[in-house]
Amino acid sequence: MTIDREFGRAVAPIAVGKAISEAFYPLFKNGKTALKLAIFPALTITLVSVLSIYLSTELIISDLSNPGNFNPGSAVQQLALSFATTLFSLLIFLQFYICWIRFLYKGESSMKSGLITSLQKRNWIALGKFLLLVIASYIVAAVFMIIFAFALEDFIPEFVKVGFFLVLLAIYFTLFLRFSYVIPAAALDEPYSFGDSWRHTRGQSLKLFVSFFLLALILFIALFILAIVLFLLSGLISLFFPMMGGIENLVPFLIGMMTTYRFLYLQLPLQLFAVVITFFMFLPYLNMLLYCFRTNTGWADDHEIAERFS
Q: Where are the domains of the chain?
A: 16-308
Q: How far is CA 188 from CA 30, 93, 112, 155, 267, in A?
A: 19, 16, 17, 52, 35
Cβ-based neighbour number of residue 232 at 10 Å = 10
Over the chain, what is the mean pLDDT? Answer: 81
Band the pLDDT of 308: cuts 50, 70, 90. Answer: very low
Give the model confidence (pLDDT) of 149-185 as tens digits.
776 666 667 777 777 778 888 888 999 999 999 999 9
Show the DSSP H helices in the chain as ranges. 16-29, 31-64, 72-106, 121-151, 158-179, 182-187, 194-200, 205-238, 250-258, 262-297, 302-308
Average pLDDT over residues 52-68: 68
Q: How far is CA 92 from CA 45, 48, 182, in A?
A: 7, 11, 18
Band the pLDDT of 244: cuts 50, 70, 90. Answer: very low
- CB neighbour list of residue 33: distance below 8 Å, 6 or more residues apart: 103, 109
pTM of the model: 0.81
- Residue scoring higher pLDDT (290 or 62): 290
Q: What's the confidence (pLDDT) of residue 266?
A: 63
Q: What's the confidence (pLDDT) of residue 62?
A: 64
Asked if 111 contacts 194 with a C-beta cutoff of 8 angstroms, the reply is no
Give the model confidence (pLDDT) of 190-230 as tens digits.
999 999 999 999 999 999 999 999 999 999 999 899 888 87
Average pLDDT over residues 98-123: 93
- Residue scoring higher pLDDT (224 or 50): 224
Q: What's the confidence (pLDDT) of residue 42?
A: 94
Q: How far is CA 266 from CA 250, 255, 261, 296, in A?
A: 14, 12, 9, 46
Give the model confidence (pLDDT) of 68-105 as tens digits.
565 666 677 778 888 889 999 999 999 999 999 999 99
Q: What's the confidence (pLDDT) of residue 200?
A: 93
Cα maximum dimension of the chain: 78
Q: What's the confidence (pLDDT) of residue 270?
A: 78
Residue 215: name the closest of 37, 27, 35 by CA. Answer: 27
Distance, in Å, from the CA atom of 148 to the CA atom of 140, rounded to the nearest integer, reads 12
Q: What's the confidence (pLDDT) of residue 147?
A: 73
Question: DSSP letters of 226-285?
Answer: HHHHHHHHHHHHHTTGGGGT-GGGHHHHHHHHHTSTHHHHHHHHHHHHHHHHHHHHHHHH
Beta bridge partners of 300: 2
* 300 phi/psi in degrees, rounded to 5: -145, 140
Q: What's the confidence (pLDDT) of residue 27?
A: 92
Band the pLDDT of 3: cuts 50, 70, 90. Answer: low
Band the pLDDT of 249: cuts 50, 70, 90. Answer: low
Residue 67 amino acid letter: P
Q: How much of the chain, in percent, has pLDDT values that exceed 70?
A: 75
Name the least confident of 35-39, 278-282, 299-303.
299-303
Residue 46: name the closest of 284, 278, 286, 283 by CA. Answer: 278
- Residue scoring higher pLDDT (128 or 152): 128
- CB neighbour list of residue 264: distance below 8 Å, 6 or more residues apart: 50, 54
Distance, in Å, from the CA atom of 83 to the CA atom of 71, rounded to the nearest integer, reads 19
